[in-house]
Structure 1
Amino acid sequence: MKFGSKFGIFNTFDYNLDLKERKAKYMNYDGILCEKCNNDIYKRFYYCIYCYDKETDVNKKRHMKFGSNFKIFNTFDYTNLNLEERKAKYMNYDGILCEKCNNDIYKYDNFYCTYCYDKETDIIKKGHMKFGSKFGIFKTFDYNLNLEKRRAKYMNYD
């Protein structure tokens, strides 16, 4: 046998578990097999990549990947929340998906959709996406200000 006696069968109802619960359930197994297709479930993901790729329903894919603990990122939050408020709102979710393009938003990328950011051409909108509502553009004539005046002028920005 591939894994010996220490393997588990990943049941389709395990998709109802959040990622922490999935990890806890399968952490002591050397290998995990998908109940539906018998392919390996990688412990890095805790969902069947083969079944995920075959699935066409976007909502089912979200559920497979993140369980019940995912959130749709509201694009209004780019202008309505500063960066800290955005982090607080979305930090506790296993997955965050962009409402505009359905791509993953990684918490470690400062809570913005890198796909939409790369496609955006408006520098102001890009600033709001990356830095939140407390955002300003540093003007080149501000180089004429001394350091203290620059700090005072831009101290309220993220």
Structure 2
Amino acid sequence: MDWCLFIFTYVIAVLIQSHGFNIETERSRVLNVSAEWFGHRVMQHSSGIIVSAPLDKSSNLFKCSYASGSCSPINIDGVTRTDDWGMGLSLAVSPTTNQLLACAPHLAHPCGKNMYLNSVCYKFDGKFLTPAPQNITPGYQGKVAQQPRVCAILVFWSDLGPTSIKNL
């Protein structure tokens, strides 16, 4: 009987803690944009919102108006990407300057026979008026002139005695 009371109390406590809620349900608005993963990240920006669609091929960021319920794509670097670079997986807005930072962690580029995976970030001004946003590519490595040489020394401790270690 004690176990039944314990399990009943536990289930009630879990259900109370996991009950979901919405802050504003009366004035909600649904934005219907046919883009893959539309709504992955949502950030308030000025009087509108910025919405990311990281797997969309045509545009990965959208500026949406809450009043009209419409969204327009944000031009990134004037280039339409055809690969899944994941633009908009990370978004940040500066509350003081109203600048937007949008990042794509899946940018791959070839270097000889190797493929390097870098992230790329774009910094937009407060009104998206810049012709091309500022490209920030942290840790970008261009083509290496020579193949790196690897030197490894293997030491098997069980085969070496105390005097052999000193002679190394």
Normalising by the residue count of structure 2, what TM-score does the alignment of the two structures yield?
A: 0.24
- Which one scores higher on RCO, CA 8 angstroms, separation ≥ 6? 1
- Structure with higher strand content: 2
By percentage of residues, which structure has more helix?
A: 1
The higher radius of gyration belongs to 2
